[in-house]
Amino acid sequence: MEKPNVVVIGYGFAGRCFHAYLVGLTSGLNLYGIATSRSEARDQIQRDLGVKTFRHFDEVLADPAVDLVVLATPNDLHAPHAIQAMAAGKHVVTDKPMCLSMAEADQMIAASQAHDRLFSVFQNRRWDGDFLAVKDALAQGLLGDPFLLEMFWGQYGPPRGWRSTAQHGGGKFFDLGAHLVDQALQLIDAPLTKVYASFHSGDPLSIDVESHALAVLHFANGVEARVETSSLAGKAKPRWYVLGTEGALVKEGVDPQEKAMIAGDIDAAEEAPEHYARLYRPAEETIMETAPGRWRSYYENIADALAGRAALAVTAQSVRQTMVAIEAARLSAAEQRPVAPEEVG
């Protein structure tokens, strides 16, 4: 395959600032077009990017020049659009979360296999600087044997647009929690054995999705990961709090790539020194400067995988495990009991 032609479906925040931008930076991919129903957005795209525009998803699938579609759409559209695109012979990347349920996840994977199409999910935060710092600290054994990971993302204020509605798969746990759960599963090399979760909904924000969520993931090696998201956090907790038998790691702040990307230069991302990770060991505190993250790597790997130069970094099967944990958490919160992975996946 020559340089694959890519069409981004949707031109909201994710389509504009994440996918179209990162695809445009990837030398092994060609940003061929963008699909959006908004006429003013199509005018802007043609003016600013000079790429083809489409009004409808079906027009994209009917274009034989399109090799890969990127779904930057509301979460409830990921599964039907991905399955339809793969049946039309297109490779597919979906934004996270992968879909709304395990049934949809399995249908998407089956479509990928049946039509021999690449299928991946945009878990770009596997390339966050803070995640890579924690991963490196654990790999070096700086904490001894880890037994507790606390991961938090929150602020005060309701989600906007379709992300505030359950019908479209909104809510911060489903949105940002998809990243945190995925990161936990990448860090802990043991099977997930049990999930317990509690969601808080009655709040002054007047939204129909959860406003605060805590999911506790238990693993076969005894490690516990606590994933917490909130729209009611007047004061944020540390992004990471990791305990091991020989020390603790605390990390404030979030990866700076998003802010730099929105400003138009992701490579200018620079973390504030006060957000560097701190390693606490008996009678010792060490500041660990965070190496830059690199979201570019996600789409560079997609290009290499399509060209046969590399294995796919974010496989659908790996993200299926994230969906198992998410669905177990949602069932646990609804029924107020621990849930085993085999109950949902």
pLDDT tens digits, residue range 49-76?
999 999 999 999 999 999 999 999 999 9
Q: Measured between alpha carbons, how far is residue 251 from residues 72, 142, 206, 226 in Å?
A: 30, 15, 32, 15
Could you give the count of Cα atoms lying within 13 Å of 101 in the half-sphere of its Cβ? 9
Residue 264, SS3 per DSSP:
coil
Give the pLDDT confidence score for residue 206 in this predicted structure: 58
Please give the single-letter amino acid code of residue 163.
Answer: R
pLDDT at 129: 96
**Cα 224 vs. chain centroid, distance in angstroms?**
21
Is 164's pLDDT higher than 80?
no
What is 5-122's CATH number? 3.40.50.720
- The number of helix segments (H) and strand segments (E) in the chain equals 12, 14
Q: Residue 189: which of 140, 228, 153, 222 has the closest Cα?
A: 222
254 Cβ contact list (under 8 Å, min separation 6): 128, 130, 153, 239
In the predicted structure, residue 311 carries a pLDDT above the cut 90: yes
- Determine the pLDDT at residue 205: 61
pLDDT bin (cut points 50, 70, 90) of residue 162 is low
Tell me the average pLDDT across 136-162: 91
Hey, how many other C-beta atoms are within 10 angstroms of the C-beta on 261? 19
Res 23: pLDDT:
98
The residue that leads in pLDDT, 132 or 345, is 132
> What's residue 202's pLDDT?
65
Contact between 49 and 74 under an 8 Å Cβ cutoff? The reply is no
Q: Does residue 204 have a pLDDT over 80?
A: no
Lowest-confidence range among 102-111, 228-237, 254-263, 334-343?
Answer: 228-237
pTM for the full predicted model = 0.95
Residue 283 CB partners (closer than 8 Å, separation 6+): none
Task: Give yes or no for residue 125 having a pLDDT over 90.
Answer: yes
Mean pLDDT, residues 25-42: 94
Confidence of residue 134 (pLDDT cuts 50, 70, 90): very high
pLDDT at 39 over 80: yes
| pLDDT of res. 340 | 98
- 237-151-333 Cα angle (round to 5): 100
Per-residue pLDDT at 188 exceeds 60: yes
Residue 148's pLDDT band (cuts 50, 70, 90):
very high
Peptide bond into 292 cis (omega under 30): no
- The class of domain 125-293+324-343 in CATH terms is alpha beta
Domain parsing of the chain, residue ranges: 5-122, 125-293+324-343
Long-range contacts of 17-23 (CB under 8 A, 24+ apart): 17/258, 17/261, 17/262, 18/72, 18/95, 18/122, 18/124, 18/261, 19/70, 19/72, 19/93, 19/95, 19/122, 20/49, 21/261, 21/266, 22/261, 22/266, 22/295, 22/296, 22/298, 22/299, 23/70, 23/299
Instruction: Examine domains 5-122 and 125-293+324-343 and report if their fold is the same.
Output: no
Cα distance between residue 105 and residue 67, in whole Å? 22
As a whole number, mean pLDDT of residues 24-39 equals 95
Q: Average pLDDT of the chain?
A: 94
Measured from the Cβ of residue 104, the count of other Cβ atoms closer than 10 Å reads 18
Lowest mean pLDDT among 101-110, 119-128, 143-152, 229-238: 229-238
Other C-beta atoms closer than 10 Å to the C-beta of 113 total 12
As a whole-number percent, the residues of the chain with pLDDT over 90 amount to: 84
- Report CA Rg, the chain: 20
Write out pLDDT tens, residues 251-294.
999 999 999 999 999 999 999 999 999 999 998 999 999 889 99
**Of 85-99, 180-194, 207-221, 240-254, minimum mean pLDDT range:** 207-221
